[in-house]
Amino acid sequence: MDNKDDNKCWDDNNWTISETAYDPQRNTDNGNRYLIANGYMGVRGTLEEFTKEQLAAVNLAGMYDQVGDSWREPLNAPNPLYVELIADGVKLTVLEQSPAEHELKLHYREGVWYRKTGWYVAKGKVRLESERFADMDNPHYMYQRYAVTADHDCGLCIITGIDGDVWDINGPHYRQIKMEAEDGDLYAVASSQDDRITVRVREKIWRPAGSQEEIINEDKKIMRKLSYKLRAGEWFVLTKAVHIATDQDEQSEVPKVFERIQDPYPRNKAAQQAHWQAFWEKAAVIIEGDAAAMQALNFSLYQLHSAAPRHSRNLSIPARGLSGQTYKGAVFWDTEMFMLPFFLYTDPKVAKSLIRYRLDTLPGALAKAFEYGYDGAFYAWESQEEGYEACSDYNVIDVFTGRPMRTYFRDKQVHISAAVVYGIMRYVEFSGDESIWREGGLETVIECARFYYSLLVQKVAGGCYEIRDVIGPDEYHERVNNNGYTNRMAQYTFAAAAGLLERLDKDAGAWPDRETADRIHVRYPVTELKERFAAAARRIYLPQPDENGIIEQFDGYLRLEDVNVDTLRSRLLNEKEYWGGAYGVASETQVIKQADVAIWLTLFADEHSEDVLESNWYYYEARTEHGSSLSACIYAWLACRCKMPNRAYPYFMKSALADWKGGGKEWAGLVYIGGSHLAAAGGAYIDAIHGFAGISFNDGKIRFNPCFPAHWHSMKFSLLVGGNWRKIEIKKVNGEYQIRNTKG
C-alpha cells in the first residue's frame, strides 16, 4: 500500500490498492480488502485456487437462511471462480508453493480485480495473470479472465468450474446442490435448508482452440479439466462468464450473453470501465495536497457504490456490505446514520431503496415491539429480509467459560427506531421527495414515535419523562438510564411525528396527497397523537452540561471509575475477552466503546455552544476505545465543528482506511466479525463533505464553513442538490477559502 503523502494529484497510479508479495497472513483480510461487488453479489478478493478454508465466497445480497438454532445469515453462492493450475503434472498454488512473483491489485477506478503470480518449476517459470469483475450494469453477471504462460513448452492442465463446498459460518446452508453440464455450460442449482431460496449458478467459458475438456462431477463440485500443450511464450487465455440468480430476485433474468460465440470479456470490461468512469465523474472527491487522503476517501466511495442495491427498489446495505456472512449480513443503524448521506447527495435512487427497505419492513418492527409489550415500531437491531430480527439474546461467547453471554443489543438498543426516522426525515428534507409518505413513511414515523412514547416513564413523585434501561451507541455500558443520545433521538422522533401530524391536522387538504391524509386520519387519532408527541418532545429529560461543560452519557456515568484506555487494556486477562457486558473491564469505568455523546452533539451541534462541543470532544475522546468502526468518523466530524481540523484528520483517515488498512477488530469474544466497514466508508464521506468542506444545507441552498487540515489546498466534488448537480470547488489560498459552486 502506497500511502505516502506525495502531493501528487489524482492519476492512474492512485486508483489502485495493491501488494507485490504473497503473505499468507493476509489471506483473510485481503478477501475484504480486494472485494469486488455490484450490489447484487460481493466477490471476496481471494485467489482462484482458494476454497472455503481461505474464506473464498460470492455473497448474495438480501438472501438469508438458517440452519437449526444457529444464526440466520446470508447465502454464499456456489463459487464459480475456482481455478486450479497444473503445469507438467505439478499443481501450482500459493498455498503449497511460494510464488517467485506475486501481485494483487484492485483497480477501483474501473472496478476490476487483478492478479499476477509466477512460480519456478523444474523446467523454468510459469506465470498466470488473471482478472475479474462483477458487472455493474448487469448485476447478475461476473466475468473472469485467467491467462497462463511459461518460458518453456509445458503440459498445461486447468481445473475450473463451480465449487459448491462454500464457506459458511453457520452452515451448511444448502440442503442439496444439483450440478450438471449441458450444452457446454456448467450449472449448479442449490436449495437452501428451508427450501425458501434456490440459487442458480451458470458458467460458460471461452478457451483456446486445441484445448481438451473433460467434465468432473463429484461431491458438491462440477469442474472442467482442460488440457493443453502450451508452447514456450504462448499465452493460454481462458474467459469465464458467470450468471447468478435466485428465485427470490425482484426481476428474473434471462442470461442472453450466454448465446454469444465471441469472447465477451473485452467488450464487457470496457462497459465496466465506462460505468465506473461515469460514477467517478460525479462522485469522486478530489483533494489537492493530500493524495493519501484522496485515495483512502475514494476507496471508501468505491466500497459504498459496490455495495449499493441499484438493482432493487427496497434493499438496504448490511453493516459489512457484501463481504460475507459476518454480522449476519444484517442491516444496522449504520445505514441511516453513516451511509445514507453519500447516496442522498450523489445517488438518490439508492437512498430511496435504503429508506424503502425500512418502510417495507415496518411489519417486522411492529411485531418486535409487540413481542416486548411496547406500542409502535421497534426496528430490528440486526435486520434481515422483512425486518426479521437476526440479533439473538446471546451475541458474545465468554472466553473464560465458552458460554454464550446474555447481551442486550436486541432488546435494549432502542435508538435504532430513531435512526430509521432520522433517515426518512433526512431523505425527505434533502430530496424534497414526499412520495415516501404515501409508501408508508408517515406510518413509519408515527409508529416509531408511538414506540418511544410507550417507553417513557416518569417518577410518580414528578419530573421529566425518562427512558430507562437501554443501551446507547456505546455498547460497553448495558442497561443504563437516560442515555443522552437515545433520549435526544427519541425527542427528534417525537418532534418529527408531531410536525407531520400538525401539517396533516391543520389542513389535510394541503397534504401532498389526499389518499395518505385520509388513510392516516382513519387509522390514528391525529390531534391527540400530535399533542401527546409534542408534549413528550418538550418533557423528555436531556442531560445538561455540568460545571465543566461535560454532558453525562447516562445517569451515573460520571461517577464511574475514571481510567484511561491503556490502563484498562492492561487489565485484560485474555486479548479476546469482551470489554462490555456485566463484568467486562470497561463496564464499571468511563471507558466507552465508541462515540455516544459525541454523536448527539455532532448531529445537533447548533443546539450547543462551541465550548460545550469542545469540552465534550476532549473529555470523551480521551475515554473512547474506538472498538467500533462507527466511532472515528464522529470524532473527526465533531472536531471540524470545533474548528480543530488537525485533530479531526487522524480520525478521518482511520475511518477512510478502515478496510484498506484493515487491522480493525476481527473478533468479538470468539466470534469472527471481520469484513468491510461500510459505515466507516460513509463516515469518511460525511467527514469530507460536512467536516472539512463544512457543507450544510438550508432550504435547498448550500452553506459553506470549510476547515481544511493544514496541508490541504483544495477540495473538488459534486453534489446533487434539489435535483441538480452542483460542482463545488473550495480552495485555500493564503489562509482564505475561495468557494466556487457552479452548475455540474
Residues involved in catalysis: 475
CB 571, min distance to a second copy, A: 9
Looking at the Cβ atoms of 4 and 459, the one nearer to a second copy is: 459
Q: Cis peptide leading into 172, omega within 30 of 0?
A: yes
Residue owning grid cell 445538561:
544
Looking at the Cβ atoms of 3 and 587, the one nearer to a second copy is: 587
Asked if 454 touches a second copy (CB under 8 A), the answer is yes
Which one of 111, 440, 581, 664 is in contact with a second copy (CB under 8 A)? 581
CB 582, min distance to a second copy, A: 3
- Which of 169, 144, 143 shows the shortest CA–CA distance to 55? 169
CA dist list (Å): 348 to 302, 352, 355, 449, 605: 17, 6, 10, 26, 25
Which one of 9, 21, 270, 457 is in contact with a second copy (CB under 8 A)? 457
Angle between helices 442-455 and 415-431 (to 10 degrees): 150
Asked if 370 touches a second copy (CB under 8 A), the answer is no
Alpha carbon 656 to its chain centroid, in Å, reads: 13
Alpha carbon 113 to its chain centroid, in Å, reads: 19
Point out which span in 61-69, 219-227, 343-351, 449-457 binds a second copy (CB under 8 A): 449-457
Instruction: Please name the amino acid found at residue 414.
Output: V
The cell for 604 is: 445537533
| Range 662-681, binding a second copy (CB under 8 A) | none
Asked if 583 touches a second copy (CB under 8 A), the answer is yes
Angle between helices 348-360 and 362-371 (to 10 degrees): 40
Cβ(713)–Cβ(737) under 8 Å? no
Q: Are strands 16-19 and 36-37 parallel, antiparallel or unpaired?
A: unpaired
Looking at the Cβ atoms of 356 and 530, the one nearer to a second copy is: 530
CB 397, min distance to a second copy, A: 11
**236-242-245 Cα angle (round to 5):** 170
CB 468, min distance to a second copy, A: 7
Cβ(202)–Cβ(187) under 8 Å? yes
**How many residues contact a second copy, by CB under 8 A?**
28
What lies within 8 Å, CB to CB, of 507 at 6+ separation is: none
CB 520, min distance to a second copy, A: 20
Instruction: Please name the amino acid found at residue 700.
Output: G
| Range 548-577, binding a second copy (CB under 8 A) | 573
Looking at the Cβ atoms of 343 and 494, the one nearer to a second copy is: 494
Point out which span in 207-215, 304-312, 448-456, 690-698 binds a second copy (CB under 8 A): 448-456
CB 587, min distance to a second copy, A: 7
Which one of 122, 460, 522, 733 is in contact with a second copy (CB under 8 A)? 460
Looking at the Cβ atoms of 125 and 539, the one nearer to a second copy is: 539
C-alpha–C-alpha distance, residues 681 and 672, integer Å = 20
Point out which span in 246-254, 416-424, 455-463, 674-682 binds a second copy (CB under 8 A): 455-463
C-alpha–C-alpha distance, residues 399 and 574, integer Å = 8
Looking at the Cβ atoms of 229 and 571, the one nearer to a second copy is: 571
CB 400, min distance to a second copy, A: 4
C-alpha–C-alpha distance, residues 467 and 454, integer Å = 10
Helix (H), strand (E), coil (C) string for 195-227: CCCEEEEEEEEECCCCCEEEEEEECCEEEEEEE
Point out which span in 109-117, 138-146, 331-339, 580-588 binds a second copy (CB under 8 A): 580-588
Residue owning grid cell 454523536:
599
Looking at the Cβ atoms of 89 and 373, the one nearer to a second copy is: 373
3-class SS at 121? Answer: strand
Asked if 479 touches a second copy (CB under 8 A), the answer is yes
Which one of 428, 456, 693, 707 is in contact with a second copy (CB under 8 A)? 456
Cβ(453)–Cβ(536) under 8 Å? yes
The cell for 397 is: 461467547
CB 725, min distance to a second copy, A: 46
Q: Are strands 124-134 and 112-121 parallel, antiparallel or unpaired?
A: antiparallel
Asked if 544 touches a second copy (CB under 8 A), the answer is no
Looking at the Cβ atoms of 17 and 668, the one nearer to a second copy is: 668
Looking at the Cβ atoms of 403 and 703, the one nearer to a second copy is: 403
Which one of 465, 554, 651, 708 is in contact with a second copy (CB under 8 A)? 465
Cβ(29)–Cβ(313) under 8 Å? no
C-alpha–C-alpha distance, residues 360 and 315, integer Å = 10
| Range 514-543, binding a second copy (CB under 8 A) | 536
Cβ(61)–Cβ(40) under 8 Å? yes
Residue owning grid cell 450468471:
243
Which one of 21, 254, 582, 622 is in contact with a second copy (CB under 8 A)? 582
Which one of 468, 519, 576, 716 is in contact with a second copy (CB under 8 A)? 468
| Range 279-338, binding a second copy (CB under 8 A) | none
CB 396, min distance to a second copy, A: 10
Q: What is the CA radius of gyration of the chain?
A: 27
**What are 224's strand-pairing partners?**
160, 215
Looking at the Cβ atoms of 329 and 581, the one nearer to a second copy is: 581
Which one of 220, 225, 406, 519 is in contact with a second copy (CB under 8 A)? 406
CB 532, min distance to a second copy, A: 9
Which one of 101, 129, 213, 398 is in contact with a second copy (CB under 8 A)? 398
Q: What is the DSSP letter of 659?
A: H
Binding site for a second copy (CB under 8 A): 375, 393, 398, 400-401, 403, 405-406, 453-454, 456-461, 465-466, 468-469, 479, 536, 573, 581-583, 587-588
